[in-house]
Amino acid sequence: MSSSANGNNSNNGRVTWEGCSVLLDINDGDRLVFARLSPAAKLKIGNKNCSLQPLIGTPFGSLFQLDGTSLSPFIPSPQADATTNEEIKDDNVESRDNRQLLDNNTAQTLTGEDIEAMRRQGAGGNEIIEALIANSATYDKKTAFSQEKYRRKKQKKYAPKVLMRRPVARSICEAYFKKYPSKIGFLRVDTLSLLLSMANVSANSDILVVDMISGLLTGAVAERLGGTGLVCNSYLGQSPYSMDIVRIFNFSDEICKRIVRCPISDLLSSKESPEQTLQVADVNYVCNVESQSNDPMGATANTDEISHSSGNGISDLGAENAENENIPVIRACKATKAGERAPQETIDSWKENGFSSLLIAAPEMDIWPLPLATCMHNLQLAKMAIGLQISEPWLREYQVLPSRTHPSMQMSAFGGYILTGTKICSSNC
Amino acid sequence: MLAIDPAKKLSFNRLISNGDLVIVYERHDNMKAVTVSEGSVLQNRFGVFKHSEWIGKPFGSKVFSNKGGFVYLLAPTPELWTLVLSHRTQILYIADISFVIMYLEVVPGCLVLESGTGSGSLTTSLARAVAPMGHVHTFDFHEQRAGSARDDFERTGLSSLISVRVRDIQGEGFPSEFAGLADAVFLDLPQPWLAIPSAAKMLKQDGTLCSFSPCVEQVQRSCETLQNCFTDIRTFEVLLRTYEVKEGKMENLNGDNNDSNGSLPCKRRQRSDGSYAPDTSVSSVMARPCGEARGHTGYLTFARLKCL
């Protein structure tokens, strides 16, 4: 497999580098944070501010645990998993149940002060957890499943785990859908996947995109193009839509170059487009993680994208204390620009050759009557497309565990509607 | 099918030529794949269509038969191919295929291993996802089906991206030459747990795996086996609900047209004598879910190779 000229900086790179963006999954999805790794970067977990430096140069997928004030690599012991499974098969377990449990807060004899004292003496998170278990009057009477649940709950509080994930279309979409879905128009990951395949997004293609969901669609398309072809991020009127999510993808220079912008009006008119300087592309990619000004694209296109500096390029989705309006926008650490204005030769070439795919993500409309139904009807009347279909994807997750397999208790009820079809030649072809 | 050669990419100027594969669209549920051949004809209930009249036209054109009937000639895509290919085995459909490609994080340049090949429905989409620098190695234990798949990939122009081999992955595992090189592995086997240990050896660190199984017992056993070397194990079902659309008139339920009952406001038509009459209907486009839907295809179990 060939790697791009940037080596680790290609989006196939599996090891983190200074300046790359990462998705931090804290305590199994309880909290999701996009961050940019640098020696100075810090992350607040609970009431501790820990450095992200230990994460630089480690493989994506690595697990860390907060013990004391620093993050250190955590390697789950294979024995731990095995014992859990074995206990479940133990006959004694089936005779236990919760009939004697009283919810009156008297089960735990260790107090908050005791725990603080242990901490001051240098006890690690795991020691505290063992102490809590030892001092719980009801622990032994619980079923094995219940004990597991108890242990996991204590671990989340006293020894939180941080999983460092690679930001790719899938993980970015899932994180936003879970924590800040309005920013991506409630586009669920299966719906996004359908958009990409039904539009036949593939290498060496010129793809026209109208992306009103902060750049997630543009980024996902660019990822599938892999440094070939072009994505034209277009917009009605003269103000481009925000594309902040594109920056999270860790795209190589080659891929960034392939993301360009052009107003729809320019694509339609046959007259020369005016020589207007678009300020937006210049302001965003200042190589400075600290300072931050209002993202002008964000401000014009979408008023709830007001950003302010957090000093370390962190974008915390749905954190306990952050309100959505204050989520900072990550600054790119390199000067590569995605979203440059498409040059005239490129626009001319599109007018000559056309685009092979069109993708539109426009969630801001009233849903009655279904805008897609009106669109489909109009396309049918004008005989512009065939094979038209409106679909709604349905996604259900399962919990698969010994003796405990069932659909997940929570489920997403709606992930977006899709209209797909194939354009046909009108009589002018 | 894919623009592996940029000169052949779909464009206004890319015209149908002799030897091209086209998808002949009669109706949304009636399509077939045809290789254009100068002297050939297509015969169907609309009449006789001469291939020679297709050559030089752009993809997406409407073409006519001797009787004046017509069909559309579409450029082949993996989605259309999935709908027209000959089923030698049960195939994976669009909803599952799209989700698998996304969740396995397949992008250009990836090396993907697949077993079984089956009818090559998913394989075609995998090829699109890894093009132009990546590769798909697909294995099937049935020699004849492997051969048919190979023929199909020739026909769709994907042979440079896909290698088909006859091999019993459940019995022998994946070939050791790929150890540590695969970005993703896909399994569609009756007993995937037998292949999972080998898959683990093939994957790069944090590489992705997917196993497709129709039955929950298979899923349970696979998940148990995955625990050893894999993490982030998740199982899903994905289905598509389709809608039908029609233009209709909605009757105004409030006959005497006053709004005392809090009914929806309606337009009033002006009569020729200047007075107003209640407009008792509103024309609009309506959508409603289709009554029938596919209930189940299979469970998709995904996992990542644990970091050491």
Judged by DSSP in three states, A410 sits in coil
Number of folded domains that form chain B: 2
**C-beta neighbour count of A367 within 10 angstroms:** 9
Which CATH number do you get for residue B139? 3.40.50.150
**Please, where are the H alpha helices in chain B?**
78-84, 94-103, 121-130, 143-155, 169-172, 196-202, 216-226
CB of A120 within 8 Å of a chain B CB? The answer is no
Q: Which residue of B has its CA nearest to A418?
A: B242
CB of B261 within 8 Å of a chain A CB? The answer is no
Report if residue B279 sits inside a domain.
Answer: no
Same domain? For B130 and B182 the reply is yes
Which CATH number do you get for residue B21? 3.10.330.20
Judged by DSSP in three states, B216 sits in helix
Report if residue B119 sits inside a domain.
Answer: yes
Report if residue B266 sits inside a domain.
Answer: no
Same domain? For B91 and B210 the reply is yes
Same domain? For B133 and B206 the reply is yes
CA distance B108 to A221: 12
CB of B96 within 8 Å of a chain A CB? The answer is no
Taking one residue from A and the other from B, the number of pairs with CB-CB distance under 8 angstroms is 226
Which domain-ending residue is among B76, B99, B121? Answer: B76
CA distance A389 to A418: 8
CB of B257 within 8 Å of a chain A CB? The answer is no
Which domain-ending residue is among B46, B76, B106? Answer: B76
The range of the structural domain enclosing residue B58 comes to 6-76
Cβ-Cβ contacts under 8 Å, B105 against chain A:
166, 168-170
CB of A197 within 8 Å of a chain B CB? The answer is yes
Same domain? For B108 and B220 the reply is yes
Report if residue B149 sits inside a domain.
Answer: yes
Same domain? For B160 and B211 the reply is yes
By percentage, how much of chain B surpasses pLDDT 90?
Answer: 74
Cβ-Cβ contacts under 8 Å, B308 against chain A:
75
The residue-averaged pLDDT of B189-216 equals 97
- Residue B96 token pair: 């599952």
- Return the bridge partners of B49, or none: B42
Nearest Cα of chain B lies from the Cα of A354 at a distance, in angstroms, of 6
Report if residue B160 sits inside a domain.
Answer: yes
Same domain? For B40 and B122 the reply is no
Q: What is the pLDDT of residue A92?
A: 52
Whether residue A425 and residue B58 make contact (CB cut-off 8 A), yes or no, is: yes
Report if residue B158 sits inside a domain.
Answer: yes
Nearest Cα of chain B lies from the Cα of A120 at a distance, in angstroms, of 32
What are the percentages of helix, strand and coil residues in chain A, rounded to 5? 35, 20, 45
Same domain? For B42 and B165 the reply is no
Same domain? For B108 and B194 the reply is yes
Mean pLDDT of chain B: 89
Which domain-ending residue is among B45, B76, B107? Answer: B76
Same domain? For B19 and B67 the reply is yes
Q: What is the pLDDT of residue B251?
A: 61
CB-closest option in A1, A391, A392 to B134: A1
Report if residue B179 sits inside a domain.
Answer: yes
Report if residue B139 sits inside a domain.
Answer: yes
Of A242, A227, A241, residue with least CA distance to A4: A227
Same domain? For B60 and B157 the reply is no
Same domain? For B112 and B233 the reply is yes
Same domain? For B54 and B86 the reply is no
Q: pLDDT in tens for each of the 429 residues of chain A? A: 444 333 333 445 899 999 999 999 999 999 999 999 999 999 988 888 899 999 999 999 999 998 777 888 887 765 444 444 444 444 454 567 777 777 777 778 888 888 888 877 777 777 888 888 888 888 888 888 888 888 888 888 888 999 999 999 999 999 999 999 999 999 999 999 999 999 999 999 999 999 999 999 999 999 999 999 999 999 988 899 999 999 999 999 999 999 999 999 988 865 433 332 222 222 222 212 212 222 222 212 222 222 222 334 456 664 433 333 333 344 444 556 888 999 999 998 898 888 888 898 888 665 555 778 888 999 999 999 999 999 999 999 999 999 899 999 989 988 888 999 999 987 654
CA distance B42 to B20: 15
Which secondary-structure segment (H or E) carries B301?
Answer: strand B299-305
